Each structure stands twice: as C-alpha cells, then as structure tokens.
C-alpha cells in the first residue's frame, strides 16, 4: 500500500501532519464542545457508506445551526483529499466541524467562521485477542441523557458522558461500558450500538431509548434480514443481555465486536469468541462493505 502510515489532517485549507495541525484556543469546539463530527471507515480503498455519513453530518450541523463551509460538496472534497493523502487502503476518518473562534462565553453568535477539520489515521479500539474471544462489559453508574436534553441523533463534540462511562469501565477492569437510560433500559455502549440474538431474532434498542442510529447498526439490520433473521428495534434491559444467546456491539470504529461478559457474568451460549450468528454477520459484513463503498482514488 502506498503512503506513509502517518496521521493526516485537513485544516485551514490544506493537509498537514498531525503534529503541525493547529486550532485556536478560542474555538468554541474546544471550549464548549460546540460542533459535530462523523466517524467513517475506509475499507479496501473505499469509504464505507460515504454519502450516508455525509447526510448524517449535515443533519447534525443543521440541528446545531452551524453552516457547512462550501456546503456538502466542500465536506466531501475535504474527506477525499485527506484520505488520498493518507494513502492507505484501510483507515479511520474523523470529520469535524466546530462553530469556530469566538469570544469567551457560551454565546454562539460571536462565532462567524465554522472550522472544518478532517483526520485520517489507523484505529484499533480493542486488542486482537479480546476481539477473538469477546470483550467484557461493565454497567456504568452514569446514565444516558434524555433526548430532550441531548439528542443522541446529533454526534456533537460533547462526548463527556461517554468518556466518563468508558473511564469507569476501564478503571474497574472492563473493556467497555454499558450505558442505561434514565428508566434503566439499555441505551448503548460508550461509542457503539448494542445487539442481542435470541433464537432466530435479532434485537437492538431504538433511538428513543438513547441509542445513536448508527450507520453500521443500520447495515447489520439489513444484513441480518437478508440472512433470514427476524430483526426488531425494541427496549432492552440488562436481563435481556443475560438471557441472550449472543451479544455484540457495532460501530464505525469498532465494526462488529462480540461481547463475552457483563458485570463479570458470562453471556451467550458460546464458551469463547463470537456466537454462530455473530460469525455469520461478521462474514456477511465483509462482503457488504465491498458493495457499499466510494473509491477514494
């Protein structure tokens, strides 16, 4: 594969090395988490479901009232330029839009020039041995904010809730956090959607439970239906995970990750590693990405 394996960043009109990227200390994205982002993957030299990611990014920016510099075409060009500069056929892409530089204080009307940033690099969220045998979840003491407080459909730069839940899990010896909503139902993991398999049925919490409507999540629902599994978006509790045949997570960064335990209790029927249907989903996902990519070159 061509190119050096070094992080590339598009900022202020050009692609630079990560160590050369600079942003103002008065940028409201830094000061207040005022902005949106989108995480994408490059598989085999193509951006997976690129247009779907761009549409979600645009919707999030519109919800926050941040205009896209040069519109959606401008964002598309930035991502493609940065991915080409990175030069690898496998990569993680982080597209960011801050409200830009403004006066101290939360007033967003002092910001007049939104700041687009694109980061392209490699990513590995969990060790390979953990991915092979399944990760360990811990139920976080934190709760996912209600949608009327922080809409989970907007991927804002304020991920403090997820960051603290992840920290809690790691400090207590787990790989990932399971975050519940205010009613005690399953929302999602810190940065991934939650799925369970029971019999011939695949279930995942709907966005109304505090789950991000993930792109990989939508892909898995489509794949599962093609494989003949009944799919259902429904409220789930911790007991549903304990009684499931299989549990896995999905996300752009994580892809598809089998879950081995929750709060120290083994989950699923498989003694180790992904269950039979999770394996089928993972194999089908590998074929699916080949059919839903936008070439970067």
In 65-127, which residue ranges form alpha helices assigned H by DSSP?
A: 71-86
- Please choose, from the candidates 257, 259, 256, 197, the residue with its C-alpha nearest in 3D space to the C-alpha of residue 232: 197
**Token duo for residue 31:** 């000061």
Which own/partner contact pairs does 222-231 have at CB distance under 8 Å and 24+ positions apart?
A: 222/288, 223/281, 223/284, 223/285, 223/288, 224/281, 226/284, 227/277, 227/280, 227/281, 227/284, 228/200, 229/197, 229/200, 229/201, 229/202, 229/277, 230/200, 230/201, 230/202, 231/201, 231/202, 231/203, 231/204
Residues 120 and 78: their CA atoms lie apart, in Å, by 11
List, by residue number, the catalytic residues: 155
């Amino acid at each position: 594969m061509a190119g050096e394996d070094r992080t590339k960043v598009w900022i202020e009109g050009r692609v630079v090395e990560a160590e050369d990227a600079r942003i103002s200390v008065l940028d409201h994205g830094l000061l207040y988490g005022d902005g949106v982002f989108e995480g994408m993957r490059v598989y085999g030299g193509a951006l997976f479901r690129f247009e779907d990611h761009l549409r979600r990014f645009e919707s999030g920016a519109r919800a926050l009232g941040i205009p896209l510099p040069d519109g959606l075409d401008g964002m598309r060009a930035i991502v493609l330029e940065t991915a080409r500069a990175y030069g690898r056929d496998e990569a993680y892409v982080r597209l960011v839009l801050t409200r830009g530089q403004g006066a101290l204080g939360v007033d967003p009307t002092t910001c007049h020039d939104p700041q687009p940033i694109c980061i392209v690099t490699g990513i590995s969220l969990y060790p390979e041995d953990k991915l092979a045998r399944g990760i360990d979840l811990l139920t976080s003491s934190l709760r996912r904010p209600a949608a009327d407080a922080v809409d989970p459909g907007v991927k804002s730069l304020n991920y403090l809730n997820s960051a603290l839940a992840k920290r809690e899990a790691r400090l207590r010896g787990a790989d990932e956090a399971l975050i519940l909503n205010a009613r005690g139902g399953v929302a999602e993991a810190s940065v991934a959607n939650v799925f369970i398999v029971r019999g011939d049925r695949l279930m995942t919490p709907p966005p109304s439970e505090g789950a991000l409507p993930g792109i990989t999540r939508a892909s898995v629902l489509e794949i599962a239906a093609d494989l003949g599994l009944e799919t259902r978006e429904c409220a789930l509790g911790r007991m549903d995970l304990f009684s499931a045949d299989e549990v896995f997570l999905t996300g752009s960064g994580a892809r598809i990750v089998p879950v081995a335990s929750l709060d120290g209790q083994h989950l699923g029927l498989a003694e180790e590693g992904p269950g039979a249907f999770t394996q089928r989903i993972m194999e089908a996902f590998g074929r699916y990405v080949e059919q839903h990519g936008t070439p970067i070159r």
